Amino acid sequence: MLRSVKYGINGAVLAGLVAVPAIWSTVDKSVHLVVDGKGQTIQTTAQSVGQVLHTKGYRVSSHDLLAPAASAHIANGTRIVLRRGRLLELTVDGQTTRVWTTAPTVSEALAELGYSSTDFVSVSRAQRLPLGTTDIAIRTPRTVTLIRSGTSEQVSTTDTTVGQMLADLGIDLSSAYRLSAKPTDAIVAGQVIRVQRVDRRLVTRMTALPYPVRKHYTATLSAGTTKVLAQGKAGQAKITYALVFIDGKMVARTKVSSVVVAAPRRQVLSIGTKETQTTTALNAPSQPAPSPGTAKAIARDLLAARGWGGVQYDCLVTLWDHESSWNVHAANPSGAYGIPQALPGYKMSTAGPDWQDNATTQIKWGLGYIASRYNTPCGAWSLWQQQGWY
């Protein structure tokens, strides 16, 4: 009887020893914990997901993503995934908003939020997001029309200013360019930006200077006779112009200097006024010529009627002193005639049928001619000084 009891006790102890490993296997478990994409296998006696995270020092907030739930029981081989929340402060095209995400990197976060890979991002897309706040500036592409060298093209850009966009396109604004917008102007969708290249050049040209002509009227020569007292000779000047080109087309030319290389030599002519008997019979004026003083007085009144006076009168007197000495019957072999030396003389008939003898008719025509060609008597005299005629 005693032997049987002994064997019975030994059997119970042996059975207990055999059962211990089976019970322990339900207490000590191997689980795989993945936090923000990084995994590790751990041994734990915890009974729930929350207990596992607590033992590893993780606290779950409302912005985190956890699977299974914190209250879920775990078994050997359970996989626990925790993605912790990150706060993003996004400034999109100047507008700021705050967004929570459980994505571990900038790239994944922006993709989840629907932003395109073509958007400008102020930080590296490969950067891992810290658990704190991350500031990210985003600029979406805007399409503008760029016109340069006369060619139009559509440009999509995420740059903030006109200057940044042009620099990215390789347009060096340190060169001579004219822009339709300031480099500091903000880019606006649909904007038209015109870029024109401006070239400035100095060009030198040699030009002939016509010789002036001085006429002396003399009664020692027959009317219609001209004698060269001194032969004229053209001069030469070196003129420098400043030229402005826009996109290769010249838009402005300004004379900046004029240097006389060789001065012109004046030609002096002696023009006969002596009437022969034959000439007098054929060309006798129908009325006597007024004196130069009378003709100048008529001119003064006609100038005043046009609103010209003072210096304009002085220019006119000097001009016609050289042309005809204010003689209504002054004739030139070239066909020029009268006080203003109209060429040919009959042009003055538009001012009156008495153009051959009437100082008023001749002066009216002469003033009209000057106004249409040179604006003022001083304008005509300025040209006469350069070339000896007007």
The span from the CA of 1 to the CA of 28, in Å, is: 42
In tens, the pLDDT along 61-71 reads 899 999 999 99
Q: Residue 17's pLDDT band (boundaries 50, 70, 90)? A: very low
Mean of pLDDT values over 186-192: 88
4 vs 200 pLDDT, higher one? 200
Q: 341 phi and psi, to 5 degrees? A: 55, 55
Mean of pLDDT values over 84-93: 90
Mean of pLDDT values over 40-55: 93
In tens, the pLDDT along 26-37 reads 578 999 999 988
The span from the CA of 48 to the CA of 53, in Å, is: 9
- Which residues is 226 bridged to in the sheet? 271
Answer whether 85's CB lies under 8 Å from 69's CB: no
Residue 216 has pLDDT above 90, yes or no: no
pLDDT score of 259 = 93
Mean of pLDDT values over 47-65: 92
Distances (CA, A) of 328 to 250, 336, 342, 349: 47, 11, 11, 14
In tens, the pLDDT along 305-339 reads 888 878 889 999 999 998 899 999 988 877 789 99
pLDDT score of 51 = 93
Which residues are CB-contacts of 276 (< 8 A; sequence separation ≥ 6)? 222, 223
Site of tokens 């002519």: 269
344 upstream amide cis, omega within 30 of 0: yes
Answer whether 337's CB lies under 8 Å from 330's CB: yes
pLDDT score of 275 = 59
pLDDT score of 150 = 80
The span from the CA of 354 to the CA of 365, in Å, is: 12
- In percent, the amount of the chain with pLDDT more than 70 equals 89
Q: Where are the alpha helices (H) located in the chain, listed in sequence order?
A: 2-25, 49-55, 106-112, 162-168, 277-283, 292-305, 311-323, 359-374, 377-387
Instruction: Output b/e per residue, 21-55; b: 16+ Cβ within 10 A.
Output: eeeeeeeebebebebbeeeeeeebebeebbbbbee
230: Cα separation from own chain's centroid: 57
Q: Residue 287's pLDDT band (boundaries 50, 70, 90)? A: low
The span from the CA of 160 to the CA of 165, in Å, is: 8
Residue 113 has pLDDT above 90, yes or no: no
pLDDT score of 15 = 43
Give CA angle at 235 (229, 238), nearest 5°: 170
pLDDT score of 80 = 95
pLDDT score of 23 = 44
Mean of pLDDT values over 352-360: 89
Site of tokens 């003055």: 348
Distances (CA, A) of 287 to 59, 296, 329: 126, 18, 11
pLDDT score of 280 = 41
**pTM tops 0.85, yes or no:** no
- In percent, the amount of the chain with pLDDT more than 90 equals 32
In tens, the pLDDT along 225-273 reads 888 888 888 889 999 999 998 888 888 889 999 999 998 998 888 877 7
pLDDT score of 250 = 87
Give CA angle at 372 (368, 375), nearest 5°: 100
Q: Residue 146's pLDDT band (boundaries 50, 70, 90)? A: very high
Sheet holding 79-83, edge to edge: 38-44, 29-35, 79-83, 65-67
Q: Residue 9's pLDDT band (boundaries 50, 70, 90)? A: very low
Which residues are CB-contacts of 171 (< 8 A; sequence separation ≥ 6)? 148, 177, 195
Packed helices 311-323 and 377-387: angle between N→C axes, nearest 10 degrees = 40
> To 10 degrees, the CA torsion angle through 59, 64, 65, 71?
40
pLDDT score of 254 = 92
Residue 14 has pLDDT above 80, yes or no: no
Of 24, 58, 23, the residue nearest 40 (C-alpha): 58
